[in-house]
Structure 1
Amino acid sequence: MEQRFRQGAGRLCLDFVRTLRLRGTPEVAEELTDGGALAAWVTQLGPVAPKPGSVPSPSQVGQAQALRESVYELLGAARAGGVAGASQAARNRVNRAAAEPVPQPRLDSTGALRWQADDPVTAVLSLVARDVLDLVTSPAALARIRDCANPDCGAVFLDNSRPGTRRWCSMDTCGNLSKKATFRSRHSG
């Protein structure tokens, strides 16, 4: 399957926040532009995919975007000193999403684990909401949330490195760009 969306932030909720690319920059780009994009994200990052031909409604897309911004707000408040700093609306939205049914595991006749959900989009977004609730109430994990050192990126990630000194959301993208810029500046002129 083609990787359409960036992943690897260390938590599902952080990968979901990345669907607003280049956050805080003039080049900000919405990746969840329509039902097809939301279905593609759920298929790529969730344990269960929507049925072929099933496309989330514009209302579901708007709800997913609102959830993403509530997740981002909740993370920001938690990192700044406590989830009480997040708006009641953001907390309510995340709590409502977390209360939805999640994908259910099933063992098939071949012994393979399969996931199912009546509404895969809602179920995967429930996983996102539950993940952020776990993250913002886990002081050790919360202390490992980092902003990418690339000022043009805007991504956040969970630093799982042993020393806790990771600087880039991805060495393949932002880290490599920084290395190239440093090399050019040292070898120019």
Structure 2
Amino acid sequence: MDNTPFEFIGGSLCLDFANTVGGARNQANATDQLTSYTDLLHWSREAGLIGDTAFNHLQTKALNDVSRANDVLAEVKTLREAIYRIFSDIARGNTVDDTLLLDLNKAIGQSFHHARIVRTPDGYAWGWKQDMSLDTMEAPIVRSAADLLTAPSTLSRIRECASDHCTWLFLDETKNRSRRWCNMRTCGNASKVHRYRARHTGNAEV
């Protein structure tokens, strides 16, 4: 995307949030895209969780309470890693650690007081109290993770990028469940170039 490090290719809000670590976790190329509370606000606005008015209000509020803003940033990063580890385990066919579920359940308990049922053009849907608290973006992320985790038909479509240099998560929406890369323009093409060079080098040595 132009002028932003954020991409929304996960197919689910919580997966897109987990993907705010670029590159591969625990490798030299890992880059945290949320290095400040302002970064978190930018991501939240691009994800559609807040509008311009809320963005400006929360940015001002954060400047007036830097300590709380930093605490919220630390909290959501802890949530981000729990979400990543839960769905990475599922993508790999591993059993999810109970401590990760405890972390998610804790976040559910803290966040769901923001939940509301709201009217929509088609009837009713989940909504969120717009109380302009600094952690206002956390509740919909938690809700997304809970919904995804409790949808058996969707769990089988969770994938982690096949690149050795990327740990992004996504939902495989292809008919034959064959998607391997988070993004064909980046990781997919890089893999093709790597395989081509490996074959070319091998042929040159023969």
Shift of 1:9: 0.9
2:29 to 27, 30, 36: 27
Corresponding residue number in structure 2 for 1:158: 171
1:11 counterpart residue number: 12
Shift of 1:157: 1.1
* 1:171 to 2:184 alignment: yes
Aligned-partner residue type, residue 73 of structure 2:
V
Q: For residue 58 of structure 2, give the secondary structure of its aligned residue in structure 1.
A: coil
Relative distance call for 1:97 and 1:78 in structure 2 (3 A) is farther
Matched, 1:133 2:146: yes
What's the CA shift for 1:87? 3.7
AA in 1 matched with 2:104: R
Q: Give distance in 2, aligned partners of 1:92 and 1:15.
A: 20
Contact 2:82 2:104 in 1 (8 A): yes
Query: What TM-score comes out, normalization by structure 1 length?
Result: 0.80
| Residues 5-84 of structure 1 mapped to structure 2, 5 A cutoff | 5-21=6-22, 22-49=24-51, 50-52=54-56, 54-55=58-59, 56=62, 57-76=69-88, 78=90, 80=93
* Structure 1: runs of 5+ lacking an equivalent: 108-114
Which structure shows the higher helix fraction?
2
In structure 2, what is the equivalent of residue 143 of structure 1? 156
Counterparts of 2:107 and 2:44 in 1: how far apart (Å)? 17
Q: How many residues align?
A: 182
Query: How far apart, in 2, do the equivalents of 1:90 and 1:48 lie?
Result: 25
More off after superposition, 94-103 vs 7-16: 94-103
Unaligned runs of 5+ in 2: 63-68, 121-127
Which range moved further: 84-93 or 4-13? 84-93
CA-atom RMSD in angstroms: 2.9
Decide whether aligned partners of structure 1 residues 177 and 76 sit closer, same or farther in structure 2, where only a CA change above 3 A counts: closer
Does the Cα contact within 8 Å between 1:48 and 1:116 map onto a contact in 2?
Answer: no
Which residue of 2 is the match for residue 110 of structure 1? none
CA distance in 2, matches of 1:62, 1:42: 15
Aligned-partner Cα distance in 2 for 1:151–1:35: 30
